[in-house]
Structure formats: C-alpha cells, structure tokens
C-alpha cells in the first residue's frame, strides 16, 4: 500500500529511457500512476482530475535538466502542485475588536469535535487568551460531561445548560462577556450533511453567535464523501477553515486536499495525537508528501535537530563512514533517537522504506533489551565486537537477562551494518567535503556525480533485467520491494539515497536566496 | 522479530546521524533555513507498565490503559426517546439517499446502446466515488468487460446487470448471523477506531437483544474517553440492560472481566463489551486490545463475536483498519455505521472480498432501532436502482 511513488515513477522512466524533454506519452503514463496514488489516498475523483490536468500542463515539454532525473522532476511538479493546492493562504487568527472572539465547531458524528474543541481551547490558552468552552451538543449522551472533563484537564471553564443548543449558544456569549472570557468555542452535535433539520439548527446557532471563525472538523480517514460533506456545511455556514483530525493514524489523508479544493478555505489546524497538546497549525508542505506516500522527511529532520547533539552526531557519522563506529556510538545514537518519540512513528516518516519494515510493530521496550546487551559488554567488546566468543557471549547474555542467540544476533547485524557503511563511506566523506565548499545547488550536482550505489551491499531478489543506470550513477532500486530480500541492506542503501536527495531538495526550498 | 527491530534501529540511527551531519554541513555552507514549528509527532513516549512481561518474548506486552490515551469522541446522537419508530426501517428504503447520488452517475448509462470506453470509465469512476477503491474497481470493471465480451452484451442495461451480478458474487455466501451459544456467557467484543460509533452500536444492540428475549449486560470497557461510561449507562437504561462500569482510567481488561463475572452471577446470557476507540497503527493500544480479548475469553466467558465497527464515510483506510484489527483480535464481522448519510461504504467490497470478513449489521440512523441486518442483495440493488 505504501510503495513509494518515486519507485513507481523511476520504474516507468527507466523503461522509457532518458530523453531530453518529457513527452506527452511519458507524462501520460506517469499521470496514470499519480491518479491511482491519489485515489488510494482518498483524494476526491473530481479533484484528482483537475490536478492531473494541471500537472500535465506543467510537465509536458518540460526540459529534463541536469540535477534531477525525469522521475524526480515529475515528482517535484506533483509535490509543488499538491502543496499549492493544500496551502495557499495559511490561516491567521485575529481576535474580535469587541470580545469575545467566537469559534464555531461543526462536523459529522465521530469526526472529533469535542476533543478538538478542548484542544483548540488549550491552543488559545497557550496564545495568552482566556477561552470558554460551550457544550452545545445536547444530543449525544454524556457529551456535556465529556467536555466538562476535558475542560477540567486544561483548566478552561465549560458552559452549558440543558435547554436547547441554540439558546445555550446564545447565552454563552453573554456568559463570556460577564466573566471576562475573550474566546468562546462552541462545540456542536455531530450531524449528517443531508439531515435538513439538524443542518438548519447549526445554521441558527451560527446566526445567534455570529462566529468569527467557523471550523469544519474532518476526520483524516474520510473517503470520497468528504467533498459532499464540506460543500453541504460550507453552503450553510460559510466555513473559515478546516481542522483535520486523527492525523496520527496511517490514513494518507487525501480528504484534506479534497476539502481544501472544494471549499477553498485553508486547513487551519491538525490534530496529531491523543493528548490534548497534540494539536497545532497545519503544515501543507508536509501533507503533500504524505498524500503521495512519500514519508515526512522534513518533520523528521526537524525533530532530529531538536534532539540530537549536532557535534556529536557529526562525529559519529564520520566514524560510521570510516568504519570505526563502535557499539558505544550506536548506544549513544540510540539514546538520542529514543528522545524523538516512539520508533513506529519515526519509521512512518521515513520515505521509501520497504513495506516489510513499515509493517513491523516496534515495541520501544525492545530498545531497552538492546541497551542492556550493550551495557553488559566491556569497553573492549564494545569497540571491537569481533572478540566476543562463546564464553563472553554467555556472560553478556547473563548480564543483560537475554540469551546468547539474541546477543549474537545483535552483533552480527551490527557488524554487517558497519561493513556496509564503510564501503559506502568513501564517497560519503568526499561528498560532505565537497558540499562544504560549494553552494547548495552546486553541492547537489557534485553529490549526484559522486553517488555510488553500494551494489555489493544489496542483496536483492531482483528479477530479470536490471534497471538502467542513469548518468549520475544512480540506480533504481526496484529489487528492494521484493518480499524475499533480506531487509537490512537494501533498506539502508535505498534509504540513504532517497534521504539525501530529498533533504537536499527540501533544503533548497528554504534557501533564502 | 528482534532482527527486524534491530535493523530498523540501525537504519534509523544511521539515517539520522548521517542525515543530520549532512544537514549541518549544508546549513553552515548555505545558510539555508529550516522552518521551525510544530511537528506531526510531538507525542510523548507511552509509558508502559512492565508487569506481565513474558520472558524471551518480543511481542508487545499488555499495559494498563491509564497512560495511553485513545483520542476521544464517538459520535453518538440520539433521537429523543419519545419518537422511536415501531417498525424497523427497511434496509432498502433507508438507503434511498445514499442511492440517489450513485444513481446519478449510472442513470445516463442505462440509456446507452453501446458502452464505449468513456462509458466504461464512467462506470469505474462511479465505483471509485462510492469508496470501492481504485484497485477493486478496476478488477470489477475488467471482469465485467470480459464477461460483456463473452456474452456479447453491448448496451448499457446489459452491462449494468453484469456489473450488478459481479458485485453480488463478491458479497454472496457469507454467514452473516450473529453467534450466540445457549447456556453460556457469551461475550461480544466491540472494537474500532475512534469515532466510528462503538458505544452507540452497543446501545442499539442491547435494545435488539432485549427485544429478542435475551438478557444483555453492557461492560463499559472504554475507560479512557471522558464520560464514555456515562454515555453507555444512558444507553443501558434505554435498552433495559445491565451495566458494569469501572473507574475512568482503569484497566479495560478488568472491567470486561468483572462484566463477565457479573453476567454469570446475574444470569445474563450476553456481555456487550465496549472498548475505547484506538487507531490501528498504535501497537501498544492494539496489544491492550488483544489482552482484553484474552481476558474476556476466560471462564465463564465465551467470546462468540468480535465486531469491528466501521464508519461508512471511511475511505481506503478502512481496509487497513480491518486488516490490523483482525490480526489483533480475530474480528468475526463488521458493523457498518452511518450509512444513512451520503457516504456509500464501498470499502466493504474490498474488505469482504480480500479479508472475507462479513458485514453483519448496518447502522442506518440515530434511533435506537436503526441497527439492521446487512442485506447484500438489497445493498447492491440499491446502488443500481
């Protein structure tokens, strides 16, 4: 399901061979893949069609220029189109000159309105405001209690009375004024877009509260129907923005794109977790690669920067590439990695990871076991794991509460990784030096020329004709998708390649010049 | 398993180290600026208790629910208790609204004397719009094309009936009955992601079982979401069912266990076990759910149904949900909720054909009686009517 689009495209292009410019036929074939990818991500069909047309217009006849291969070039166009569609204007929350600023929350049942209301209240509080939560969902049993409990957790008062939703909403504004609350968040009952009566009710709530912001809460897992829902709500309420929920799931979230296209209003916030603080402004650029199934490198890099000690990491990387990476270094890096959050989430953000790895459930406590094994080694053993014989292994196993098989498993994998990185290393350090001298653009070019795919390290079950090497020496890693391929080497090889390239592209985008 | 984990660790460590030093170098040289701000991942590490760790086993271990917080919010809207319709709505009638949208696309087709490439595409698009999914739609259409060639069917009407027949096949021959063993304490476990309508489904199921002369007991296993137990209590009162509640933030397994024990003691023949909504990609929460199922199966409990509640508005992610939940708790059937909206629930086709999971019940509205048996023929017919 998560085969990266890049792989598919490169497959197509290596078949087509490299040409001076993208022909209509090339682009058409790629567009078919894009269509499938977008539809699988639940982007609405009509939206997909429009997007395809825009991409076709831009891509046909485009010169293939030096730095990017055709596949990357099309991806870049697709990515830019998606980002543009998703983004455009970002919402800027301004506050009413005469408080309170009123926010109305609407949406289908189960989209997450009540939790999101509380999250939003918490966000306003963090902006230095004094929000009031209003429970106008009088339909669902215990909805008011739920909001009260959540309000209690973030110390935000909750207003409600058992009369009817419209009058609760009306009274709440007076209540807010009386108690000096400058933001009012009105949580309404979930309703179907085709339910005339309830849609009329929410319109009346909107009339009496005159909201400054009306948000539609949309579940990231929503399918093709997202468009109809958004249209129906927009007709009644004139939405100001959309809040996307349950983004911490593995849905690709095409609904975000659909809704944005149809309503033309920005996706203002995104809820990315179960806790009340898992909520923030929306980043369209990241969503684009998610919809395309390409991981979320940018967030990963950002997280890494927050947690990793830069100097240390650099040194470790240098040692790694020279083949002098020790288990101690590994332990250090692992500690840092742990700070970045649950591993499963990190893996989800890596682009182009083979499905086998993506699908693995990672129990973070496994890390504890690995740590225990390494900690049970002597300094000499950590530096040179090759000296570990059966007796040392038994001691380490006993010391770490594991068994000798687990110990040797770790050591084998580690040594293989180290060997591979060493092979890979020669070019890596050169690359680093080169890009240090050159500016971003030229650095990338240089890097490209210097790229050496560690073929020897790839043990893949690649069938038939190998991929056509491109000028830069970059090789399409088709074989990595094979389910039979041993996991480690191909995954690593491919990752690094994609990783560096995308990182370079993304960074270029941020280059102030 | 440990090998794979190790690989991931190493890959990630290496990647991040190499990546970061690369970024650092670039930054120093190019002064590039990374946008700072929030990220999609700021979720603390779940603190997981280490009780019950089985030696040498790498499978995630059950953990108390306290710290793992499933996102809240189930949609449970209710009609005022007064206006409960007496007769059960007909599946066919209730699908009326959903049907009309679909028919809009197919309506033109029926009149065609020859189905050309464009019309085929429209047909496929109609399926995609119903959330059937692009791959399943392609397979369906290709099959029908083949059959149309063989049968020399050309006009729109013939092609449509071929497609209809093909879709019937996909849903045919499945046991859609709800299993209940006489003389035992049956447990029906209700699972699903957040906000699909689990608690509401239990409320409606309770009423239904009560009407059939059973003695249901509801176990409020959603100990995470604020006020979930209150919500279920309201439903229990409406349905005339017994209820067992635990403390908010308590261990769901123990609530279910207490529920089973109470059911046995109070002579209830079925326990409707509610669980907190959880996204299927949270392995710790899925492990917790597996534990709930194991505990529910302890004597005198007999887990006879594990029902996955699926929201009809869900798109292609529904497949992933069904797959992962089935792996974790061996789902026996699907409840498709909110089918009274404009969503068509087409993902059911993929789930039924690829996983062989039968849809057993359908939620068609907010009333206490609006949970009806799934009728595949009516469902498909309604799409083409």
A488–B194 C-beta distance less than 8 A? no
H/E element holding A168? Answer: helix A165-179
B211/B235 same-domain check: yes
Residue B339 lies in a domain: yes
Selected residue of B1, B17, B59, B344 to mutate for chain A interface (largest A Cβ count, 10 A) = B17
pLDDT computed for residue A262 by the predictor: 87
Q: Which of B18, B28, B78 sits opposite A139 (nearest CB)?
A: B78
* Boundary (domain end) residue, out of B136, B155, B171: B171
pLDDT computed for residue A501 by the predictor: 47
Whether B64 has a pLDDT exceeding 60, the answer reads: no
- Whether chain A has a CB inside 8 Å of the CB on B383: the answer is no
**Which residues does chain A have within 8 Å of residue B45's beta carbon, measured at their own beta carbons?**
338, 341-342, 364
Q: Chain A: nearest CA to B67, how far in angstroms? A: 10
pLDDT computed for residue A27 by the predictor: 79
Chain A (335-354) residues lying within 8 Å, Cβ to Cβ, of chain B: 336-338, 340-350, 353
Residue B7 lies in a domain: no
A41–B281 C-beta distance less than 8 A? no
3-class SS letters over A294-314: CCCHHHHHHHHHHHCCHHHHH
Q: Name the average pLDDT for chain B.
A: 77
Q: Which of B11, B315, B366 sits opposite A42 (nearest CB)?
A: B315
Confidence band for A66, pLDDT divided at 50, 70 and 90: low
The domain A298-510 having CATH identifier 1.10.260.30: the answer here is yes
Distance of CA A221 to the CA centre of its chain: 14
Residue B3 lies in a domain: no
Neighbouring-strand partners of residue B219: B244, B273
A159-167, long-range: CB within 8 Å, 24+ apart, which pairs?
A: A159/A132, A159/A133, A159/A134, A159/A135, A160/A134, A160/A135, A160/A136, A162/A138, A164/A138, A165/A136, A165/A137, A165/A138, A165/A189, A165/A201, A165/A205, A166/A201, A166/A204, A166/A205, A166/A208
B137/B285 same-domain check: no
| Closest among A169, A12, A20 to A104, alpha carbons compared | A169
Q: Chain A: nearest CA to B139, how far in angstroms? A: 13
Q: Chain B: nearest CA to A113, how far in angstroms? A: 7
Please report, for chain A, the start and end positions of each structural domain, with discontinuous segments joined by +. 5-86, 101-294, 298-510
**Which residues does chain B have within 8 Å of residue A448's beta carbon, measured at their own beta carbons?**
none
- Whether chain B has a CB inside 8 Å of the CB on A502: the answer is no
- Whether chain A has a CB inside 8 Å of the CB on B192: the answer is no
The span from the CA of B344 to the CA of B154, in Å, is: 27
B247/B144 same-domain check: no
Q: Under a CB-based contact definition with an 8 Å cutoff, are residues A424 and A497 in contact?
A: no
Percent of chain A with pLDDT strictly greater than 90: 31
- Whether chain A has a CB inside 8 Å of the CB on B265: the answer is no
Q: Under a CB-based contact definition with an 8 Å cutoff, are residues B308 and B201 in contact?
A: no
- Which residues have a Cβ under 8 Å from the Cβ of A226 and sit 6 or more positions away? A42, A44, A218, A255, A258, A259, B313, B315
- Whether chain A has a CB inside 8 Å of the CB on B317: the answer is yes
**Which residues does chain B have within 8 Å of residue A247's beta carbon, measured at their own beta carbons?**
40
- Which residues have a Cβ under 8 Å from the Cβ of B26 and sit 6 or more positions away? A435, A440, A443, A504, A507, B32
Residue B57 lies in a domain: no
B166/B190 same-domain check: no
> DSSP assignment of B277-334, as one string?
---TT-HHHHHHHHHHHHHHTSTTEEEEEEEEEEETTB-THHHHHHHHHHHHH---EE
pLDDT computed for residue A370 by the predictor: 85
Whether B284 has a pLDDT exceeding 60, the answer reads: yes
The span from the CA of B219 to the CA of B229, in Å, is: 9
B166/B193 same-domain check: no
Q: What would the pLDDT profile of B291-300 be if each residue is shown by its tens digit?
A: 999 999 998 9
Lowest pLDDT segment from A148-162, A203-217, A303-317: A303-317
pLDDT computed for residue B359 by the predictor: 95
pLDDT computed for residue A290 by the predictor: 77
pLDDT computed for residue B368 by the predictor: 84
In total, how many domains does chain B have?
A: 2
The span from the CA of B373 to the CA of B356, in Å, is: 17
**Residue B236: which domain range?**
179-384
Lowest pLDDT segment from A324-333, A380-389, B70-79, B132-141: B70-79
3-class DSSP assignment, residue A196: helix
pLDDT computed for residue B49 by the predictor: 37
Chain B (122-181) residues lying within 8 Å, Cβ to Cβ, of chain A: 125, 128-131, 133-135
Q: Chain A: nearest CA to B280, how far in angstroms? A: 7
3-class DSSP assignment, residue B150: helix
Neighbouring-strand partners of residue B244: B219
| Closest among A206, A230, A231 to A218, alpha carbons compared | A230
- Whether chain A has a CB inside 8 Å of the CB on B77: the answer is yes
Count CB neighbours of B286 within 10 A: 21
Residue B59 lies in a domain: no
B146/B277 same-domain check: no
A313–B20 C-beta distance less than 8 A? yes
Sheet holding B371-373, edge to edge: B242-244, B216-219, B270-273, B185-191, B301-311, B333-337, B359-363, B371-373
Neighbouring-strand partners of residue A135: A187
CA neighbours closer than 13 Å in the CB half-sphere of residue B348: 32
Homologous superfamily of A101-294 in CATH? Answer: P-loop containing nucleotide triphosphate hydrolases (3.40.50.300)
Cis previous bond, B225, omega within 30: no
Percent of chain A with pLDDT strictly greater than 70: 66
Confidence band for A186, pLDDT divided at 50, 70 and 90: very high
How many residues can be counted in chain B?
385
Sign of the dihedral through C-alpha A449, A455, A460, A461: positive
Q: What is the mean pLDDT of residues B207-230?
A: 93
Residue B54 lies in a domain: no
3-class SS letters over A91-126: CCCCCCCCCCEEEEEEECCCCCHHHHHHHHHHHHHH
Residue B1 lies in a domain: no
Confidence band for B196, pLDDT divided at 50, 70 and 90: very high
Count CB neighbours of A466 within 10 A: 13
- Whether chain A has a CB inside 8 Å of the CB on B28: the answer is yes
DSSP letter at A270 equals E
- Whether chain A has a CB inside 8 Å of the CB on B50: the answer is yes
- Whether chain A has a CB inside 8 Å of the CB on B357: the answer is no
B215/B356 same-domain check: yes
pLDDT computed for residue A318 by the predictor: 75
The domain A5-86 having CATH identifier 1.10.3720.10: the answer here is no
Residue B282 lies in a domain: yes
Q: What is the CATH number of the domain that holds B118?
A: 1.20.120.140
**Which residues does chain B have within 8 Å of residue A112's beta carbon, measured at their own beta carbons?**
71-73, 194-195
Lowest pLDDT segment from A428-437, A451-460, B343-352: A451-460
Q: What is the mean pLDDT of residues A57-83?
A: 73
Whether A483 has a pLDDT exceeding 80, the answer reads: no
B370/B347 same-domain check: yes
For Cα atoms A360, A365, A368, give the angle at the middle one, nearest 5 degrees. 125
3-class DSSP assignment, residue A213: strand
CA distance readout (Å), B94 to A17, A167, A187, B88, B106: 54, 32, 29, 10, 20
**Which residues does chain A have within 8 Å of residue B72's beta carbon, measured at their own beta carbons?**
112, 114-115, 146, 150, 274
- Whether chain B has a CB inside 8 Å of the CB on A304: the answer is yes
B227–A142 C-beta distance less than 8 A? yes
CA neighbours closer than 13 Å in the CB half-sphere of residue B128: 26
pLDDT computed for residue A300 by the predictor: 63
**Chain A to chain B, count of Cβ pairs less than 8 Å apart?**
424
Per-range mean pLDDT, top range of A82-96, A496-510, B46-60, B348-362: B348-362
- Closest CA in chain A for residue B3: A409
- Burial label, B80 (beta-carbon count in 10 A; 0-12, 13-18, 19+): exposed
Confidence band for A152, pLDDT divided at 50, 70 and 90: very high
- Burial label, A416 (beta-carbon count in 10 A; 0-12, 13-18, 19+): middle
Q: Where are the alpha helices (DSSP H) in B71-155?
A: 91-94, 96-110, 117-129, 134-151
Selected residue of B25, B35, B39, B229 to mutate for chain A interface (largest A Cβ count, 10 A) = B39
B216/B166 same-domain check: no
Q: Which of A112, A278, A492 sits opposite B43 (nearest CB)?
A: A278
**Which residues does chain A have within 8 Å of residue B16's beta carbon, measured at their own beta carbons?**
300, 304, 308, 313, 333, 336-337, 340
B261/B304 same-domain check: yes
Q: What is the mean pLDDT of residues A146-167?
A: 93
Whether A454 has a pLDDT exceeding 70, the answer reads: no
Q: Chain A: nearest CA to B178, how far in angstroms? A: 25
Confidence band for A406, pLDDT divided at 50, 70 and 90: confident
B285/B238 same-domain check: yes
Q: Which residue has the higher pLDDT, B4 or B316?
A: B316
Whether A301 has a pLDDT exceeding 90, the answer reads: no
B316–A40 C-beta distance less than 8 A? yes
CA distance readout (Å), A303 to A316, A318, B5, B308: 18, 21, 21, 35
Model-level ipTM above the cut of 0.90: no
Q: What is the mean pLDDT of residues A442-446?
A: 36
Global confidence as pTM: 0.70
Q: What would the pLDDT profile of A256-287 be if each residue is shown by its tens digit?
A: 889 988 888 889 999 988 889 889 888 777 78
Q: Which of B9, B30, B227 sits opposite A149 (nearest CB)?
A: B227
DSSP letter at B172 equals -
Selected residue of A136, A164, A221 to mutate for chain B interface (largest B Cβ count, 10 A) = A221
**Which residues does chain A have within 8 Å of residue B58's beta carbon, measured at their own beta carbons?**
363, 366
> DSSP assignment of A6-59, as one string?
HHHHHHHHHHH---SB--HHHHHHHHHHHHHHHHHTT--HHHHHHHHHHHHHHH
φ, ψ of residue B201 to 5 degrees: the values are -60, -40
B227/B269 same-domain check: yes
- Whether chain A has a CB inside 8 Å of the CB on B19: the answer is yes
Q: What is the CATH number of the domain that holds B373?
A: 3.40.50.300
Buried b (16+ CB within 10 A) or exposed e, A352-361: bbbebbbebb
Neighbouring-strand partners of residue A102: A184
């Amino acid at each position: 399901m998560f085969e990266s689009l890049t792989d598919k495209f490169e497959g197509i292009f290596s078949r087509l061979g490299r040409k001076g410019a993208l022909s209509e036929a090339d682009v058409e074939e790629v567009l078919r893949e894009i269509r499938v990818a977008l539809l699988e991500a639940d982007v609405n069909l009509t939206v997909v069609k429009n997007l395809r047309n825009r991409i076709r217009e831009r891509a046909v006849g485009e010169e293939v220029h030096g730095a990017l291969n055709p596949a990357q070039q099309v991806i870049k166009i697709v990515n830019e189109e998606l980002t543009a569609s998703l983004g455009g204007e970002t919402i800027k929350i301004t506050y009413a000159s005469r408080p309170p600023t009123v926010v109305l929350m609407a949406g289908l049942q189960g989209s997450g309105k009540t939790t999101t209301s509380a999250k939003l209240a918490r966000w306003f509080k963090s902006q230095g405001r004094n929000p009031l939560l209003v429970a106008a969902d009088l339909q669902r049993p215990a909805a008011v209690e739920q909001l009260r409990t959540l309000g209690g957790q973030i110390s935000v008062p909750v207003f409600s009375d058992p009369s009817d939703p419209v009058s609760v909403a009306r009274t709440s504004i007076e209540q807010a004024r009386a108690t000096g609350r400058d933001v009012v968040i009105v949580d309404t009952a979930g309703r179907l877009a085709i339910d005339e009566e309830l849609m009329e009710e929410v319109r009346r709530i909107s009339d009496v509260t005159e909201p400054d912001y009306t948000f539609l809460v949309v579940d990231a897992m929503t399918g093709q129907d997202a468009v109809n829902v958004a249209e129906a709500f927009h007709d009644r309420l004139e939405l100001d923005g959309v809040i996307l929920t349950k983004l911490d799931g593995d849905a690709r979230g095409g609904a975000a794109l659909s809704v944005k296209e149809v309503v033309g209003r920005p996706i203002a916030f995104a809820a990315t977790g179960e806790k009340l603080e898992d909520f923030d402004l929306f980043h369209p650029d990241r969503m684009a690669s998610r919809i395309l199934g390409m991981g979320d490198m940018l967030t990963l890099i950002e997280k890494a920067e927050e947690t990793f000690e830069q100097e240390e990491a650099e040194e470790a990387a240098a040692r790694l590439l020279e083949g002098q990476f020790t288990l101690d270094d590994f332990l250090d890096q692992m500690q840092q990695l742990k700070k970045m959050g649950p591993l499963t989430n990190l893996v989800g953000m890596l682009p182009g990871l083979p499905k086998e790895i993506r699908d693995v459930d990672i129990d973070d406590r496994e890390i504890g076991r690995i740590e225990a094994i390494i900690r049970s080694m002597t300094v000499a053993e950590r530096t040179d794991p090759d000296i570990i014989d059966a007796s040392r292994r038994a001691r380490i196993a006993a010391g770490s509460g594991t068994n000798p098989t687990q110990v040797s498993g770790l050591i084998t994998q580690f040594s293989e990784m180290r060997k591979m990185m060493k092979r890979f290393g020669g070019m890596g350090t050169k690359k680093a030096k080169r890009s240090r001298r050159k500016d971003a653009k030229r650095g990338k070019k240089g890097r490209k020329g210097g790229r050496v795919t560690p073929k020897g390290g790839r043990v893949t079950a690649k069938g038939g004709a190998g991929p056509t090497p491109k000028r830069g020496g970059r090789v399409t890693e088709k074989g990595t998708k094979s389910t039979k391929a041993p996991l480690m080497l191909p995954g690593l090889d491919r990752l690094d390649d994609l990783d560096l390239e995308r990182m370079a592209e993304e960074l270029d985008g941020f280059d102030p010049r | 398993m440990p090998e794979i984990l190790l690989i991931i660790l190493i890959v990630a460590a290496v990647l991040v180290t190499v990546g970061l030093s690369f970024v650092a170098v670039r930054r120093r040289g190019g002064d590039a600026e990374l946008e700072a701000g929030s990220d999609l991942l700021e979720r603390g590490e779940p603190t997981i208790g280490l009780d019950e760790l089985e030696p040498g086993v790498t499978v995630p271990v059950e953990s108390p629910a306290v710290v793992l917080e499933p996102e809240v919010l189930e949609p449970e809207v209710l009609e005022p208790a007064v206006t409960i319709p007496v007769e059960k709505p007909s599946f066919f009638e209730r699908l009326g609204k959903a049907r009309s949208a679909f028919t809009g696309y197919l309506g033109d087709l029926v009149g065609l004397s020859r189905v050309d490439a464009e019309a085929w595409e429209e047909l496929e698009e109609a399926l995609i719009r119903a959330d059937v999914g692009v791959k399943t739609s392609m397979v369906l259409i290709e099959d029908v094309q083949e059959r149309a060639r063989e049968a020399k069917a050309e006009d729109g009407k013939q092609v449509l009936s071929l497609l209809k027949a093909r879709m019937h096949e996909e849903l045919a021959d499945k046991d859609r009955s709800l299993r209940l063993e006489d003389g035992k304490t049956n447990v029906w476990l209700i699972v699903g992601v957040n906000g699909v309508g689990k608690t509401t489904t239990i409320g409606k199921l309770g009423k239904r079982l009560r009407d059939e002369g059973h003695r249901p007991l509801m176990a409020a296993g959603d100990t995470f979401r604020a006020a979930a137990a209150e919500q279920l209590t309201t439903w229990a009162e409406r349905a005339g069912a017994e209820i067992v509640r635990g403390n908010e933030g308590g261990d769901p397994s123990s609530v279910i266990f207490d529920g089973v024990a109470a059911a046995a003691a109070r002579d209830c023949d079925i326990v409707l076990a509610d669980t907190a909504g959880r996204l299927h990609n949270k392995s710790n929460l899925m492990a917790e759910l597996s534990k709930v199922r194991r505990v529910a199966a302890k004597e005198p409990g007999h887990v006879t149904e594990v029902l996955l509640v699926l929201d009809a508005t869900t798109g292609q992610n529904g497949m992933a949900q069904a797959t992962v939940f089935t792996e974790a708790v061996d789902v026996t059937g699907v409840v498709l909720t909110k089918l009274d909206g404009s969503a068509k629930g087409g993902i059911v086709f993929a789930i039924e054909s690829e996983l062989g999971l039968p849809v057993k019940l359908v939620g068609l509205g907010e009333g206490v009686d609006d949970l009806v048996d799934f009728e595949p023929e009516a469902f498909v017919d309604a799409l083409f009517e």
